[in-house]
Each structure stands twice: as structure tokens, then as C-alpha cells.
């Protein structure tokens, strides 16, 4: 019988991106009397290891080049911007490339079994403030102590952590305090070290904090000076697997971070080393407004490619944010088809087992499951639901065999073909992890025995 085995070896390796959080926020510490609020109590957060449902802010909160209208709150002392977070994550990890963006006034294994969380929107346009207040949190989850603190989100993007009254001493404490933003990793977080004065690092996380800041202490993350004329290219998105000679749609996001409305600007889409593949005039955009521009691009050659967007504004006072991050894609040959093996609902720690931070895995896929004989394999995809994983170094080998199973031992990688050796992306939550093979594999099945 013909069989196709796949061997996947996984080693995790977190990597850093360019630029950094410092272009969007500066850190400082000050003091002021703690001012408790009486707001809306979050019913989901009166226990240990709980995460709230999405909560509407009532404002459009600017964070980097993104805008958020909702948050999720964890009992473990952090707030997730948006709705991507799906569990309460008591293990602090500000440099994470998946647990972001989040704001962490006291990230540790806390409990609110004896306390609560309230929220309230105060003030008037354009100076509204959304306040999240933790009252009588236990640190750690089973300790006989109480700690109160707030997160204040200002309509202009400013963030403040206010620390209030406490009783008792922390137990088994190893907290982190700070903020992070996508894409995560070094330079994309601030980690605070309390002290006189308090300091913050963008390259080293202090995850051993065991003393609560003094009542009245405030840690502030302020937006740097705002320019009059400043358009930012916030994103580029679209198909990661377009097909050669078929038009694919890509969206470039632009945000007006300046104080003045703009209309005389151009939005462009590029590939590779500065090859322009699309251009269109901008439309009127107000301060703090975000607009999307859609481009159609027909790839002419198969293989890996990179895309990025750029906004061009005459007189732009901050050109550092004019270019988007890179979107890595792989152009597929014509006539590509997809084969799904299984129902996609199996719960297993394979083929990627992240518990030990590395794993080695091998399995057999049979011709009846693959439903093809001599077609080339260009990519592998796995359904996933990850709680907390970094992007990681991944190696994949493919080969064919006459063996009915692997009871006699694994087939060594030296008898297989290396098809991928690089960093793969393992996103948080439910997704499909797709790994484009660097060396597409044309299986030649052995003769039937």
C-alpha cells in the first residue's frame, strides 16, 4: 500500500521587529491622590482566572496606528485592547508576539473573589476618559490581602495606571507592569520597574515585581508631540496565497495622526524592492480618522513575494510612519487545489507541542486521505486554538514509504526531503496555521506491495 509520511520538528524562537513602541509613547511617573469611581460592575470578574466579555469604551481609543472601541478585562491584572484575547492568562509576558496589544497595571496570578472590577466613561469630547478600576484584588489568588488600582484611557491616547490603597503583603509575587503592542517582541513593549524614580525598559521585562506601588503613584504612557500634518500607513492586508495571473485584492490602511484634515495625498502599493504595483489619490480624511484603500494586483510569477503600502503627503512632518509593515505572501501556480484531512475538530498537542518549548513529530498520511497521486505539495495547513505561543523556528521534511505504520520506529529525516526551514507564525486563538513550503514537494509514490 502506498503511504506518505510527514515529519515536523519544531523549535520555538521569538524574534524582534523594526521600529518600536517609543515612536508612539513615552513613559513617566508622577503622584496624585487616588480617586475611586463608582461605575458599572463587570459581572464576569468576581472570581479567579476570569476574562470579561467585550466591553464598549464609548470612545475610539487610538493606540499606535490602530483604533479600538472595545476591550476585554482579565482578573489577572491586564486589559486586552480589542476582542482577540480568549483566556485570562495569569503568566505575565510583556514581550509576547501573540499576547498583544494589552495594558498591564499588575500582571500576575491575581483573584477578584473578594473584590470587583468597575468601569466608567467620564468627561466630554474631546477629553473623555474611560476608567477601569480593580478593587480589593488578591495577590496572589489565594492570599489574605487586598490591592486597588485603575487604568485610565484618555481620548487622545494617553494611558495612566493609578495605584490606590492596599492591605497586607503580596504572596508568591512576580508581576509585570507595562504595556505592549503588535507585532510584539523587543522594542514593542514598556516594562516598568517601580522605584524612586520608576523606570521603564523596551528590551528587558521586569517580571519579578513583588512590591505594590505606593498609594497615589501614577505611571503614565503619553503620546509624543502631535504634528499638524502627519499621515501614517497603518497596514496592508489581503490574500496570502494569490494565484498567478489571477487578480487579487489588497487593502492599504491610512490613519490621520495629525491635527489638520488632509485631502492632497497619494496611497501606493509596492512589491519586492520598491516596485510600484498600484497608486490612487487619497480622499478627504479628518484628524484621528482611518480609511482603507483597495488595490487589485495580478501576480505574474509564482513563489514568495513581499507587499507593503505607503502614503505620500506633501509636507508630512513625520515620514517615519509613511510605510506599512511588510506582508509576506506566496504566489501559487494555476490550478492549485486544497485537500483537507480529517474533520478539523480533533483536540491534540500534535503536531506542534508547545509545552516543552520544542517538539518532534512524525505521522503518515495515506493516498486515500490525500486524494491525489503525483501532484506537487506547495503548503501545509493545520487548524489551531493556541492560548499562548510565540512565533518559532520550524523544520519540515516530507517523503514517501511502503511502511504500513510507524510501529517499527520513525523514518529518519535523512531519508526524507527538507521542505521548510525557517520561522513560522503561530497566531493566538482559533486560526489556520499555513506554512508555505520553501521547497515544493512532488511526491513519487513507491510501487504498491
Cα–Cα distance between 183 and 327 in angstroms, integer? 12
What is the pLDDT at residue 250? 96
Cα–Cα distance between 43 and 104 in angstroms, integer? 20
CB-CB contact of 176 with 76 (8 Å) = no
Q: Please, what are the domains in the chain?
A: 4-13+337-441 (no CATH), 25-222 (no CATH), 231-324 (2.60.40.10)
Sort strands 176-180 and 146-154 into parallel, antiparallel or unpaired: unpaired
Cα–Cα distance between 310 and 322 in angstroms, integer? 6
Closest to 167 (Cα-Cα) out of 239, 118, 115, 119: 115
What is the pLDDT at residue 174? 96
Let me know if 52 is exposed, middle or buried by CB neighbors in 10 A (0-12, 13-18, 19+). buried
pLDDT tens digits in sequence order for the chain, 449 residues long = 334 433 333 333 323 333 588 878 999 999 999 999 999 999 989 889 999 999 999 998 989 878 899 999 999 999 999 999 999 999 999 999 889 999 999 999 999 999 999 999 999 988 999 999 999 999 999 999 999 999 999 998 999 999 999 999 999 999 999 999 988 888 899 999 999 999 999 999 999 999 999 999 999 999 877 799 999 898 898 888 888 999 999 999 998 888 899 999 999 999 998 999 999 999 999 987 889 999 999 999 988 899 999 999 999 998 888 998 888 888 888 876 666 676 655 556 667 766 566 778 888 887 777 766 667 887 787 777 665 555 678 888 888 888 888 888 888 888 888 988 888 777 665 666 778 788 888 765 545 44
What is the pLDDT at residue 404? 82
Cα–Cα distance between 394 and 26 in angstroms, integer? 36
- Measure the CA angle with vertex 190, ends 188 and 196; round to 5°: 160
What is the pLDDT at residue 18? 39
- The secondary structure of 106-160 as a DSSP string is EESSEE-TT-EEEEEEES-TTS-EEEEEEEEEEESTT-S-EEEEEEEEETTS-EE
CA distance from start to end of the chain: 6
Instruction: Give the three-class secondary structure for 183.
Output: coil
Provide long-range contacts, Cβ within 8 A and 24+ apart, for 76-79.
76/49, 76/107, 76/108, 76/109, 76/110, 77/104, 77/105, 77/106, 77/107, 77/108, 77/110, 77/134, 77/137, 77/175, 78/102, 78/103, 78/104, 78/105, 78/107, 79/103, 79/104, 79/132, 79/151
Amino acid at each position: 500500500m502506498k503511504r506518505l509520511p510527514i515529519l515536523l520538528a519544531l523549535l520555538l524562537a521569538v524574534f524582534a521587529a523594526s521600529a518600536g513602541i517609543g515612536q508612539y509613547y513615552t513613559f513617566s511617573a508622577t503622584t496624585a491622590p487616588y480617586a475611586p469611581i463608582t461605575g458599572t460592575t463587570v459581572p464576569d470578574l468576581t472570581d479567579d482566572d476570569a476574562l470579561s466579555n467585550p466591553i464598549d469604551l464609548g470612545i475610539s481609543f487610538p493606540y499606535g496606528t490602530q483604533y479600538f472601541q472595545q476591550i476585554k478585562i482579565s482578573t489577572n491584572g491586564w486589559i486586552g485592547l480589542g476582542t482577540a484575547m480568549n483566556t485570562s492568562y495569569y503568566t505575565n509576558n510583556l514581550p509576547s508576539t501573540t499576547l498583544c496589544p494589552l495594558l498591564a497595571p499588575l500582571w500576575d496570578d491575581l483573584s477578584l473573589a473578594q473584590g470587583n472590577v468597575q468601569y466608567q466613561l467620564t468627561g466630554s469630547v474631546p477629553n473623555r476618559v474611560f476608567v477601569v478600576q480593580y478593587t480589593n484584588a488578591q495577590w496572589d489568588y489565594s492570599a489574605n490581602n487586598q490591592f486597588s488600582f485603575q487604568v485610565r484611557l484618555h481620548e487622545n491616547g494617553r494611558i495612566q495606571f493609578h495605584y490606590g490603597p492596599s492591605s497586607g503583603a503580596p504572596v508568591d509575587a512576580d508581576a509585570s507592569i507595562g504595556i505592549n503592542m503588535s507585532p510584539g517582541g523587543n522594542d514593542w513593549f514598556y516594562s516598568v520597574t517601580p522605584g524612586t524614580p520608576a523606570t521603564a525598559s523596551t528590551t528587558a521585562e521586569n517580571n519579578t515585581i513583588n512590591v505594590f506601588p505606593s498609594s497615589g503613584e501614577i505611571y503614565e504612557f503619553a503620546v509624543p508631540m502631535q504634528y499638524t500634518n502627519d499621515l501614517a500607513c497603518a497596514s496592508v492586508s489581503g490574500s496570502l496565497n494569490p494565484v498567478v495571473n489571477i487578480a487579487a485584492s489588497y487593502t492599504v490602511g491610512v490613519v490621520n495622526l495629525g491635527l489638520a484634515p488632509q485631502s492632497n495625498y497619494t496611497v501606493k502599493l509596492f512589491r519586492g524592492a520598491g516596485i510600484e504595483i498600484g497608486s490612487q489619490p487619497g480622499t478627504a480624511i479628518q484628524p484621528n480618522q482611518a480609511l482603507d484603500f483597495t488595490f487589485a494586483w495580478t501576480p505574474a510569477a509564482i513563489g514568495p513575494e513581499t507587499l507593503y503600502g505607503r502614503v505620500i503627503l506633501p509636507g508630512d512632518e513625520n515620514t517615519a510612519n509613511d510605510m506599512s509593515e511588510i506582508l509576506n505572501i506566496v504566489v501559487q501556480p494555476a490550478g492549485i487545489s486544497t485537500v483537507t484531512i480529517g474533520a478539523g475538530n480533533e483536540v491534540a498537542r500534535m503536531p506542534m507541542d508547545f509545552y516543552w518549548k520544542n517538539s518532534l513529530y512524525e505521522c503518515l498520511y495515506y493516498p486515500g486521505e490525500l486524494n491525489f497521486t503525483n501532484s506537487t505539495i506547495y503548503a501545509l495547513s493545520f487548524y489551531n486554538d493556541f492560548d499562548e505561543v510565540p512565533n518559532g523556528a520550524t523544520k519540515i521534511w516530507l517523503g514517501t514509504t511502503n511502511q504500513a505504520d510507524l510501529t517499527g520506529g520513525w523514518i529518519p529525516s535523512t531519508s526524507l526531503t527538507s521542505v521548510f526551514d525557517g520561522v513560522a507564525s503561530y497566531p493566538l486563538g482559533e486560526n489556520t496555521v499555513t506554512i508555505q513550503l520553501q521547497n515544493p514537494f512532488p511526491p513519487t509514490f513507491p510501487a504498491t506491495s
